[in-house]
Structure 1
Amino acid sequence: MQNMVDALWVAVSGALVFFMQPGFQMVESGLTREKNSINVAIKNLTDIGISLFIYWLIGFALMFGKSAGGILGFTNFIPGAMGNVDFNLCNFLFFQAMFCSTSATIVSGAVAERMKYSSYILSTLLISAVIYPVFGHWAWGGIQPSFVSDGQGWLYKIGFVDFAG
């Protein structure tokens, strides 16, 4: 019973993080000129799709895979794709993917009205595939649940503690 309550809490928390997406979209639309509000909305929708797919494809493995010298992970690519679906792993992946997507959306607000759409898509790819997962591995690579891996990032090993995420 306790495991199901924990899993429900992680899922609800992931959903709450997901709702940051429309919140950021509304803030960004309100802070840009009216003619760019649709552009901001499309960028935020694109963020969700691209970041979730890329994070599932490679980001999760780089962040929480078995560590290669504390630099990045190299296992768990495309979790669940081979038919062996682990509920706890999928729940944890969902929770982490929501934060990856939100990190890309934060950049969306910073570059609103200042960047071409195609360039922004490339930045979302870079954030979702490299920046967020690699730094995440360095900082949080040793604190993930044991069902993911036993990897430890180099920042974690030297005592770095991130209290804010």
Structure 2
Amino acid sequence: MLTVSIYGAQLSDKMTSVPVSWTIDYEDPEKSAFKKLVTDSCDTFSEYVKSQIPKGSVDGQCTSHIFQRPGSGSGVSISLTLSFIYVDVTQPDTAALKTKLEEHFANFETIHSHKITQAQFRINQKAIVIPTGDKDAIDGSKWKIIAIIALVALAIVVIGGCIYIYVK
């Protein structure tokens, strides 16, 4: 799994270059402004990161959205995490990918309404082992069968004992 953490990021309007300005609604995940910025930031950063990472990943998941009040004169500060799962694909060199992400975002032409004007990236990768061939490893059916056999054997012993006592 490849995880791209984005922090200290800013988006601006693609046409006017005006940064996304702060509103108190960005502190409340239930507000529509928060949800819209989540969608806009996830769409924009997902499109950008997917254009830079190796092909073959399962579609990225966008999580951990944090919006912070800006410093003087700047737009809202955005942090989020994108996760991509690769199956049978060699994981990329994280140092090279971090450099690539940090060097190319300013020139990235997005299809969305915002462009990336500032961002820092942290890359992590972790191997995930997914059992594929052994059905018993997936659903534990081997242990279910053993438990059923043990219960049947116990029932036979109990019934046999009852019959022996009753006949005697």
Q: Which structure is higher in strand share?
A: 2
Same fold (TM over 0.5): no
* TM-score, normalisation: structure 2: 0.27
Greater relative contact order (CA < 8 Å, ≥ 6 in sequence): 2
**Is the helix fraction higher in 1 or 2?**
1
Give TM-score scaled by structure 1 length: 0.27
